[in-house]
């Protein structure tokens, strides 16, 4: 049986992936999974906080690999959702030779920090500093784990530069691309 997976949506934190996936799911009647859900459920299974689980992942790369393996299994399953959202799902779809559209939402450090500040509050400069550090940490981890450079967007079929676009404009670009 062929997996149901139609698209992957990736981008850095604050790029609007969750908003886009929610809208696509609602408008098209498609199911989805967010890689963050796997992360949160794994923390809950261990009965530890998200912050403690994040520290565990940083200090034990096998935990990170295990989470990614879980996502890959979901992606190739005949019961997979139509949409998968995660930082690396476009890379996994390429690696697994899945016939789906791979989308990347791109935003600048400044725009990401502004969106995170709007969502979570706090001081802009602190949000910017944390966002840049998180991106650097993630890039280092993915390079170590999989030799993936997040600046290499070659796996993606559609790259949406979202800095100057609102959620409706991003949705329209992607929805039109999907046909």
Tell me the C-alpha distance between 21 and 108, whole Å. 20
Helix boundaries (H) for the chain = 17-28, 35-45, 50-59, 61-76, 89-95, 109-120, 124-146, 167-178
Burial 130-150 (b: 16+ CB within 10 A, else e): ebeeebeeeeeebeeeeebeb
Query: pLDDT, tens digit, for every residue of 90-146?
Result: 999 999 999 999 999 999 999 989 988 888 888 999 888 888 887 888 888 899 999
* Structural domains of the chain, ranges and CATH numbers in brackets: 7-165 (3.40.50.300)
89 pLDDT tier (thresholds 50, 70, 90):
very high
**SS3 of residue 8 by DSSP:** strand
pTM above 0.85, yes or no: yes
127, two tokens: 């949000």
27 pLDDT tier (thresholds 50, 70, 90):
very high
Tell me the C-alpha distance between 117 and 6, whole Å. 32
- 114 to 31, 105, 106: CA distances (angstroms): 29, 16, 14
Please tell me the predicted confidence (pLDDT) of residue 1. Answer: 60
Task: Please say if the pLDDT value at position 61 is more than 90.
Answer: no
- Scan for tokens 């520290």, then name that residue: 55
Please tell me the predicted confidence (pLDDT) of residue 130. Answer: 84
Task: Please say if the pLDDT value at position 29 is more than 70.
Answer: yes
- What are the two backbone dihedrals, phi and then psi, of residue 152, each rounded to the nearest 5 degrees? -85, 110
Among 4, 5, 66, CA closest to 41: 66
């Amino acid at each position: 049986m062929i997996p149901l997976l139609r698209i992957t949506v990736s981008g850095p934190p604050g790029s609007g992936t969750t908003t886009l996936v929610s809208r696509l799911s609602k408008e098209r009647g498609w199911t989805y999974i967010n890689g963050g859900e796997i992360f949160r459920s794994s923390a809950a299974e261990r009965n530890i906080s998200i912050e403690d689980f994040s520290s565990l992942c940083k200090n034990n790369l096998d935990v990170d690999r295990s989470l990614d393996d879980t996502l890959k299994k979901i992606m190739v399953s005949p019961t997979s959702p139509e949409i998968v959202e995660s930082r690396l799902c476009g890379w996994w779809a390429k690696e697994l030779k899945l016939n789906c559209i791979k989308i990347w939402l791109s935003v600048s450090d400044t725009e990401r920090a502004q969106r995170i500040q709007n969502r979570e509050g706090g001081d802009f400069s602190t949000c910017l500093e944390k966002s840049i550090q998180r991106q650097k940490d993630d890039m280092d981890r993915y390079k170590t784990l999989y030799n993936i450079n997040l600046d290499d967007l070659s796996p993606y079929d559609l790259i949406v530069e979202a800095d100057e676009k609102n959620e409706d404009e991003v949705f329209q670009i992607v929805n039109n691309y999907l046909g």
